[in-house]
Amino acid sequence: MNAQEPTSVLNPDPAAVVGLVEKLVEGMWPRSDFDRKAWFERLGLITGAAWDEASAVPAVAHYSLRTPLAGGEISSSWTSYSGRFLGISMQLYSSMSTDNPSTRQGYESIHSQLTARYGEGNNPWHDPVVQACVWNVNGRRIVIRFFNLQHSGVMVSVDDAGLATASEAEARRRNAPTHWNNSAEGASPFSLPGMGAKI
């Protein structure tokens, strides 16, 4: 056997991952916490503890999540944005080695099945190291990424596309350089209106 060939059956099965993605994409997206709880119950999703500090009230809040995949033993989370349900993220086929063949097989299998269902996705980030593919389906954004830096891993997420765009825009605003008087970058704080000038 070639050392680069996968040596074990993938857990969870990529078809099961794609099946859960399909369920997350179809139907109405939860618009209240009551709806989210009922939706989670129907899908066999169990919410866990908040990841954020209780003292902070972030715009995007993170919670642990147990899915029915792989006996609930995969690392998963769900997020909210400004109190509204944003989406779900799952970390799959993680390995401590770079370019792990089983991890790559998991990514390629999920990618090909999603492509068969939703057509060709796109990669808006064009990152040569982290392969990614995005589909916009029924107001949802499906993202799959293959991380291949020091470790290997696959991330699959399904978000409300509009809320995801809004949360990313807010994150960019928060991380933008700020100036002492909220002036435009490069504006001098010493440029004062001249005497008698109309303000």
Q: What is the pLDDT of residues 93-107, one digit of tens each?
A: 999 999 899 999 999
CA 76, chain centre distance (Å)? 10
Tell me: pLDDT of 191 over 80: no
Residue 160 has pLDDT above 80, yes or no: yes
Which range, of 24-33, 82-91, 145-154, 188-197, averages the lowest pLDDT? 188-197
The rounded mean pLDDT for the chain is 86
Domain boundaries, the chain: 14-165
Q: What's residue 30's pLDDT?
A: 96
Record the tokens describing residue 88, joined without a space. 């779900």
- Does 58 score more than 60 pLDDT? yes
Q: Say which residue, 70 or 3, is predicted with more confidence.
A: 70
Q: What is the dihedral of CA 17, 22, 27, 30, to 10 degrees?
A: 30
Give the length of the chain. Answer: 199
Do residues 158 and 142 touch, judged by C-beta distance below 8 A?
A: yes
What is the CA 47 to chain-centroid distance, rounded?
17
**What is the average per-residue pLDDT within 55-78?**
88
* Higher per-residue pLDDT: 57 or 170: 170
- The answer on pLDDT for 3 being more than 80 is no
Average pLDDT of the residues in 9-36: 96
The mean pLDDT value for 5-23 works out to 87
Please write the tens of the pLDDT for every residue from 25-55. Answer: 999 999 999 999 999 999 999 999 998 876 6
> For 177-197, what is the mean pLDDT?
50
Task: Please state, in angstroms and as integers, the Cα–Cα distance from residue 41 to each residue in 13, 44, 45, 131, following that order.
Answer: 22, 5, 6, 32
Question: How far is Cα 153 from Cα 138, in angstroms, rounded to an integer?
Answer: 27
